[in-house]
Amino acid sequence: MKWDWIFFDADETLFTFDSFTGLQRMFLDYSVTFTAEDFQDYQAVNKPLWVDYQNGAITSLQLQHGRFESWAERLKVEAGLLNDAFINAMAEICTPLPGAVSLLNAIRGNAQNRHHHQRL
């Protein structure tokens, strides 16, 4: 059977996604020890931004920058650079969930090979 499109919400569907560990790894490059309290503060900003994004109230760029604005001010770097560093850190630590690779191999060639949008 051939499908036109197959969509996945990749994080925690195809691979592990531990944003706390990713943020800890990212902030090491800035000589910052990222704590559980820092993560709670980050989530207090990040979660509402995701709701706004899903409701179409903000763009992906606004989400990407907004979640790191306070850290950008503290570290005197651009929020976009922090977001890029976070994405890179997550790429380093994410691992496929059991069965994900075999699933993707099984459906390979049965749908168009394009991604919907870049991961935030």
Catalytic residue among 9, 18, 41, 52: 9
- Of 71, 77, 72, 59, which Cα lies nearest the Cα of 120? 59
Quick one: which H or E segment has residue 5? Answer: none
User: In this structure, what token pair is assigned to residue 1?
Assistant: 């059977």
Residue 38 appears among annotated catalytic residues: no
- Which CA distances in Å does 104 have to 1, 14, 118? 15, 9, 18
In angstroms, rounded to a whole number, what is the distance separating the alpha carbons of residues 65 and 100?
30
Active site residues: 9
